[in-house]
């Protein structure tokens, strides 16, 4: 259930980014948006733990801010893999990363086990 909620939140973040952030392009309809959200979710699930382990010292030295760079890399990889999503410029990638992080943080808090 949590994974489905994260996919929906990824889709919402991509939709909002495409509509409100200059430099973010989302081609296609809801089917393509859902596919992009699933791909980002799978990349996060499979690759993010490995990257956090590899770049652990950088994350510690930057007091956690290097995680933003890792998340930007994940979005950049999704840009390379998907024709539907395009980021033109690092500022669009950075702002989309922040938006995606805030929305995913809110969703993860709501699904936190007590």
**The predicted structure's pLDDT at residue 28:** 86
Token pair for residue 88? 């033109």
Q: What is the pLDDT of residues 61-82, one digit of tens each?
A: 999 999 999 999 999 999 999 9
Q: Is residue 52 over pLDDT 90? A: yes
pTM here is: 0.88
- What does residue 82 show for φ and ψ, rounded to 5 degrees? -110, 135
35, with CB counted inside 10 A (0-12, 13-18, 19+), is middle
Question: How much of the chain exceeds pLDDT 90, in percent?
Answer: 75
**The predicted structure's pLDDT at residue 113:** 66
Q: Please tell me the distance from the alpha carbon of residue 71 to that of residue 101, in angstroms, as a whole number.
A: 8
**The predicted structure's pLDDT at residue 114:** 55
In terms of residues, how long is the chain? 114
**The predicted structure's pLDDT at residue 112:** 75
Q: Is residue 48 over pLDDT 70? A: yes
Task: Find all residues with CB under 8 Å of 51, minimum gap 6, and list them.
Answer: 70, 73, 74
């Amino acid at each position: 259930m949590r994974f489905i909620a994260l996919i929906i939140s990824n889709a919402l973040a991509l939709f909002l980014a495409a509509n409100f952030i200059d430099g973010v392009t989302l081609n296609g309809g809801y089917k393509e948006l859902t596919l992009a959200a699933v791909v980002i979710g799978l990349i996060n699930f499979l690759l993010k733990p490995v990257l956090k382990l590899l770049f652990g010292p950088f994350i510690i030295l930057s007091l956690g801010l290097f995680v933003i760079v890792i998340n930007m890399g994940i979005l950049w990889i999704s840009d390379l893999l998907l024709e539907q999503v395009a980021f033109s410029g690092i500022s669009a990638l950075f702002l989309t990363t922040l938006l995606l992080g805030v929305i995913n943080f809110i969703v993860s808090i709501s699904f936190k086990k007590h």
